[in-house]
Amino acid sequence: MSFASEISVVSTDLGPIEFRRIGKGSPILYFHGGQSDARNETFDNVFDLTRYELIIPTRPGYGKTPLGHHKSPEDTARLVERLVDQLGLPAAALIGVSLGARAAIAFAALFPRRSRSLLLSAPVAGQWMTPKDRRRAMAHAFYNPAVEGASWSMTRLAFATAPRTCASLFVRGVSTRQIETLSKDDISRLRARIGSYRSRRGFLADLNQTLSDECLRKVKCPTLIQHSLHDASVEVEQARLAARLIPASELRLYDNACGHFLWLGPGSAEVFSDVRHFVEDDIAERMAAE
């Protein structure tokens, strides 16, 4: 059975928020990473959409969700909670990816009754790209709101001209492990993902955010943390920090080929299998107990 994907914008007392929903059943609330929005389809084919519904809010500064006064992960969590309330959703499984992890953590900490479980994939849990990090200057140069549209347009043009070369360069930027070849399917998936990327005002806002240790300690729901041993984009210490501070957490490290891109290349099947089992088993156990 195929499901249509609906993208909408709703108004709340904290401001408008864009979101997408697909599937039918127990809710899974997905907090996308940087350079993305509600159109992110990473998990669309992971879950049985006849049993689970994915709700993907666009975080502030991306897509059609204004940045406004939402300057912290807690601000994002409160805005998403207003969306969840308007939709009348029961408690959801939470997934936070990369730069979206902090908002997912904040949501679980602030709204424990709305949070069944928490899965963090390649998470940024604390401060990332500090002012001393040379990547920060590059991010400001290429992904500030004045030029980010042109930067991504040029990237897409390069992919159209030399897809294999560009895919290899991207993977080298996010993985410390040398990978000789990518399959045609992997190149197509990466090209499709890059094709939807925009930084808008969200990416630089993400760079200025952090999360307190206290917030991580307040998470009470079962938590699975996934990270690559070869992540060249987000240091594995971010995942270890989350595992150290979140009480009911488990850390799984992967010897995958594509580093930060856990969803790509050799090793991604194991990652997605762990995602499925953690989220679906936890939902089934909790529903049986209710």
In a domain, 150, yes or no: no
Cβ atoms of residues 231 and 175 within 8 Å:
yes
pLDDT score at 6: 84
Q: Give the tens place of pLDDT for each residue, 160-212.
A: 999 999 999 999 999 999 877 799 999 999 999 999 999 999 999 999 999 99
- DSSP-derived secondary structure letter, 113: G
Q: Which residues of 270-281 are buried (b: 16+ CB within 10 A; e: fewer)?
A: ebbebbeebbbe
User: The CATH number of the domain where 124 resides is what?
Assistant: 3.40.50.1820
In this structure, the number of other CB atoms found within 10 A of the CB of residue 235 comes to 13
CA dist 166 and 163 (Å) reads 5
Assess if residue 146 is contained within a domain.
no
Residue 192, domain member (yes or no): no
Q: Tell me if 252 is assigned to some domain.
A: yes
Give the pLDDT confidence score for residue 286 in this predicted structure: 64
Does residue 263 lie in a domain region? yes
Residue 97: give the domain boundaries.
Answer: 6-128+210-289
Residue 213 Cα distances to 51, 100, 109, 189, angstroms: 35, 17, 11, 35
Q: What is the residue-level pLDDT of the chain in tens, covering all 290 positions?
A: 667 788 999 999 999 999 999 999 999 999 999 999 999 988 998 999 999 999 999 999 999 999 999 999 999 999 999 999 999 999 999 999 999 999 999 999 999 999 999 999 999 999 999 888 999 999 999 999 999 999 999 999 999 999 999 999 999 999 999 877 799 999 999 999 999 999 999 999 999 999 999 999 999 999 999 999 999 999 999 999 999 999 999 999 999 999 999 999 989 999 999 999 999 887 766 666 66
Residue 123 lies in a domain: yes
Neighbour-count burial of 210, counting CB atoms closer than 10 A to its CB (0-12 exposed, 13-18 middle, 19+ buried):
middle
pLDDT at position 140 is 95
Structural domains in the chain (count): 1
Q: Would you state the pLDDT for residue 266? A: 87
